[in-house]
Amino acid sequence: MSTTTDSKISIQLEDFSVTDEIEAMKKVSRNIGGITTFLGTGRELSKGQNISQLNFEHYPKMAEKKLAEIREKAIKDFGIIDMSIIHRIGPIEIGENIVLIVATGEHRKETFVACEWAIAELKRTTPIWKRETTSTGEVWVQDTP
């Protein structure tokens, strides 16, 4: 299952290849001189609790719309060439990929700023929710560090 509103935005059950995504973005423009990525993965420890599994749910259509807005704003406000955003939903095992943001630009500086802004904005505004399974039960994660 993959839901996409733009070829550069995807919310999907399947894992993704970081290398393949970077290679696809490199084909966008011959002016790309810098590429910054953010890769979020499932971690084993959260707030002192061992996590055995993560599960992500989303508000279909609205989550894709928010990711598209983040992408468009990053391109406009930070002067980057392009950006792609992939977020997985469903059950995620520890160590697996969760989210990937790839920002491309003529230079590195704007790609670093755009990528950092995009992940913060994604966590702040996108209706994607994380549930952690711990030894004491399931916990919906409310805060975004």
Please give the structure tokens belonging to residue 85.
């955003």
How much is the pLDDT for 136?
A: 86
d(CA 135, CA 138): 8
d(CA 91, CA 30): 38
Domains belonging to the chain, first-starting first, are: 2-140 (3.90.1170.40)
How much is the pLDDT for 68?
A: 97
Each of the 145 residues of the chain gets a pLDDT tens digit; together they read: 344 445 799 999 999 999 999 999 999 999 999 999 999 999 998 888 899 999 999 999 999 999 999 999 999 999 999 999 999 999 999 999 999 999 999 999 999 999 999 999 999 999 999 999 988 888 888 765 4
Secondary structure E strands in 43-127: 45-46, 49-58, 82-88, 90-92, 97-105
How much is the pLDDT for 135?
A: 84
Q: Which residues contact 130 (CB under 8 A, 6 or more apart)?
A: 54, 55, 56, 140, 141
d(CA 129, CA 9): 18
